[in-house]
Amino acid sequence: MALRDINAAVDFASKEAEQTAQDIAALSVFFNPKSVAVVGASSDPKKPGNTALRHMISMGYKGKLFPVNPREKGILGLPCYRNVSDIPEPVEMCILMVAAELTVPVAKELVERKRRFNDVKGAICMSAGFGEIDAPEAKQRQKDLIDILRSASIRLIGPNCVGVMDTVSGFNTNFDIGSYPRGGISVLTQSGAFGNSFLFASGTSGRVGLNKYVSMGNMADVQMAELLTFLKDDVTTRVIGIYLEGLSDPRGFFQAACEAAAVKPVVVLKSGRSELGSTAALSHTGAIAGAEAIYEGAFRQFGLMRVRSVAEFYDTLRAFSMQPVPKGNRVAVLTHMGGPGTMCIDEISELPGITMASFTDETHAALKAILSPAANVGHPPGYIDLTAAHFERLHHQVLQILFKDPNVDSVIQILAPSAFLDQPLLAKEVAAAFQSQGATPKPLLNVITFGDFAGELRRGLEAAHLPTFDYPDTVARVAANLSNYGTVRTAAAQAGGQTQSAGTQGPAAQLIAATAKAGRVSLLEPEAYAVCKQYDIQVPPFKMVDSLPGALAAAREIGYPVVLKVVSAQILHKSDIGGVMLGIGSDSALEKSYAQLVDNVRKAAPAIAKPSVLVQKMMPAATELVLGAIRDRLFGPVVMFGLGGIYVEVLKRVSFRLAPFGIEQARALIHDMLPPKIIAGARGRKKLNVDAIAAMLVSLGRLLEEHPQIDEVDLNPCLALDDGCLAVDARIILAKAKKG
């Protein structure tokens, strides 16, 4: 490439990045507009057009408000206008709260106004009756609304949403919720009903401080990925919570989420976990892949904290908004009640990414010196039961000792308020211990069990910015989320890294082109092996033959034991028709096996008079893995990894990652998927060569990325041998297989 071409490419990329930054910055109008027109405002206090306007006033919004309703002269002490064109002052934001069929005419008025005054920057459409309805006129209405607004570069949130709340600016379009406690949590939700119920539940307790809230609705224009990028740089947002149902552009979302997660926690609650994604029955990979499985893998890949319940979503957001991220995954559990403490430890033992701490000798000695002889210290490791012989100051002393232990990264404390303790004093002692840590504190999560005195203790701790929780098992999951985020933060920033390309030329491109030209649905096994070799995916030695003498010569050259496999475009699942013969250890055994294989093929496919046969080295027993890749209709190239063999489709112990990715992500996938004992070498086998397996995973991602004609790759089983990893069976399916 000439120097001028390189400079031109750099300039183009720079201008594109600058434009993207400007587009994201322009989203600030949705959170702090200088002026707002409310189209559909009402003087009836029972109508949304009144409550939304009233809530904006009660939230303390300082900008100018312009109610618009041709039947009203004034609403809530504000002059009312017949239409947006009549407003004599600049209008930055417009809230649409009229019937769906009236929104398109209003959009035309906004476009005309912007052409005259260059003022309108954004709109929020609260109305329903658009793309969420399975009716042609509703879908066309949504398209018309977006096309009209885009013609004047007016961005839209919605339609079919409850809009935006910003406790910093006081801007609030929510017709259900008025004032709200300010804090560091920003929430993006695809369901206004869920978002509002979450805010009602958490807001009534006074334990959640909200920063920004966006009900996305149909996401016809402004996308969640854009808002994630905006919130990443928002200095008042400490943690981002997302309620997710599904995405039309998941890659764009995960790219933005990855960049956000490198800066601040992103907590996701996703519904719709049934297997409704794109699948194919031609390979193990296609049979297992589904939208939910791929979403799950992508959440892990890009460092997002996925939670499984509304309670965990709420509690995890609160913890991130009020507590530091731990430096490691070792947690101490402090309590004075055996039962709840045991429940907490049981949950910790089953969670990935978190473990009980092992106290230092100094910690043991310091604790023994101040605790009752009946107290339990370190049985199991990281556990302390003060028993009933506890008092307010003792909690302060024990917490200080735990915070100073280098083997403790975070602390869970389980408290049962009672008449024998001074609750305000206990809260004060606990808060003082936490605050004594200095500039790099460790997290402290407090469980307050129920009772007459629970509210008093809870209020005291929350006032000191210490989050409290209701249940010991839930707090264990929250602690795991905190620890996991600390662990994956660096990995999230590295996601998407690539290695050197194998190129789109060579045997792979030629074989794929020839297969497609022949009208075949998949590459033959030896062809798939040739593609694998180009991408440094190792396969056992093999030779192709079409006669018994040829098979005998090949077996002697390769060395017994060997495997025989039929190779035919007419036989996709060769094992089903007896087209695979295993463990052949001699000439005489090969003669019998070859004859049986030929007979099985003729019965299954009489048209094949003289089958082609692959003679392959029989590899020694080893841990069986499955590696695969699929081009999903939503996610694009996706790589699969897990335990292999004949039960892979039944057990489905596999995980997915969006491709391409780098070697570190591949290693993380292996450790995430395989039990440590298998990696270390189970039942006398040697330790797995993680680097070799990781290199194969990276290569698979490149293969799909560089050859868009490929729909699926299935390597099952792959044998994890001492010196690397071999694919002993390979299937490559082209896109044409899914047509028709």
pLDDT in tens, 190-244: 998 888 888 887 766 667 789 999 999 999 999 999 999 999 999 999 999 999 9
Quickly state the pLDDT bin for 291 (edges 50, 70, 90).
confident
629 Cβ neighbours under 8 A, 6+ residues apart: 285, 637, 638, 639, 640, 659, 700, 701, 703, 704, 710, 712, 713
Pair type for strands 330-335 and 410-415:
parallel
Angle 396-402-403 (CA atoms, 0-180°, nearest 5)?
85
- What is the pTM assigned to this prediction? 0.88
Could you tell me the CA-to-CA distances from 206 to 200, 211, 414, 675 in Å, in that order? 10, 14, 21, 42
Could you tell me the CA-to-CA distances from 456 to 379, 416, 419, 423, 448 in Å, in that order? 31, 12, 11, 6, 10
pLDDT of residue 645: 67
**Helices 291-301 & 663-673, crossing angle to 10 degrees?**
120
Are residues 543 and 526 in contact, defined by beta-carbon separation less than 8 angstroms? no
* H/E run at residue 355: strand 355-356
Q: Which two tokens stand for residue 290?
A: 């589904």
pLDDT of residue 488: 73
Residue 641 scores a pLDDT above 70 = yes
Nearest to 306 by CA among 351, 255, 357, 356: 351
3-state secondary structure of 570: coil
Residue 568 scores a pLDDT above 90 = yes
3-state secondary structure of 33: coil
Q: Which two tokens stand for residue 388?
A: 């009933």
The pLDDT > 90 percentage for the chain reads 72
Q: What is the pLDDT of residues 666-685, one digit of tens each?
A: 999 999 888 888 888 866 67
Q: Cα 550 vs. chain centroid, distance in angstroms? A: 52
132 Cβ neighbours under 8 A, 6+ residues apart: 138, 160, 217, 218
Rounded to an integer, what distance in angstroms lies between the CA atom of residue 735 and that of residue 733? 7
Rounded to an integer, what distance in angstroms lies between the CA atom of residue 520 and that of residue 736? 8
* H/E run at residue 705: helix 690-706
Residue 497 scores a pLDDT above 70 = no
Nearest to 507 by CA among 707, 696, 659: 707
Angle 148-151-156 (CA atoms, 0-180°, nearest 5)?
65
Q: Per-residue pLDDT averaged across 33-46, rounded? A: 95
205 Cβ neighbours under 8 A, 6+ residues apart: none
pLDDT of residue 271: 86
3-state secondary structure of 721: strand
Rounded to an integer, what distance in angstroms lies between the CA atom of residue 724 and that of residue 537? 10
pLDDT of residue 280: 35
Rounded to an integer, what distance in angstroms lies between the CA atom of residue 648 and that of residue 671? 18
Residue 5 scores a pLDDT above 60 = no
Q: Which two tokens stand for residue 244?
A: 């997710």
Residue 572 scores a pLDDT above 80 = no
Q: How many residues belong to the chain?
A: 740
Rounded to an integer, what distance in angstroms lies between the CA atom of residue 117 and that of residue 153? 14
Q: What is the pLDDT of residues 160-171, one digit of tens each?
A: 999 999 999 999
Catalogue all structural domains in the chain, each as residue range(s) with its CATH number.
25-271 (3.40.50.720), 324-494 (3.40.50.261), 507-617 (3.30.1490.20), 623-738 (3.30.470.20)
Query: Quick one: CA torsion of 269, 270, 271, 273, rounded to 10 degrees?
Result: -130
pLDDT of residue 10: 41
pLDDT of residue 675: 85
3-state secondary structure of 469: strand
Rounded to an integer, what distance in angstroms lies between the CA atom of residue 99 and that of residue 80? 19
Pair type for strands 444-448 and 410-415:
parallel
Q: Per-residue pLDDT averaged across 457-485, rounded? A: 94
First-residue to last-residue Cα distance in the chain: 41
Q: Cα 237 vs. chain centroid, distance in angstroms? A: 20
305 Cβ neighbours under 8 A, 6+ residues apart: 265, 266, 267, 268, 316, 481, 484, 485
Are residues 726 and 539 in contact, defined by beta-carbon separation less than 8 angstroms? yes
Are residues 66 and 35 in contact, defined by beta-carbon separation less than 8 angstroms? yes
Residue 400 scores a pLDDT above 70 = yes
Q: Which amino acid is residue 276, in one-letter code?
A: L
Could you tell me the CA-to-CA distances from 173 to 124, 127, 420 in Å, in that order? 9, 12, 48
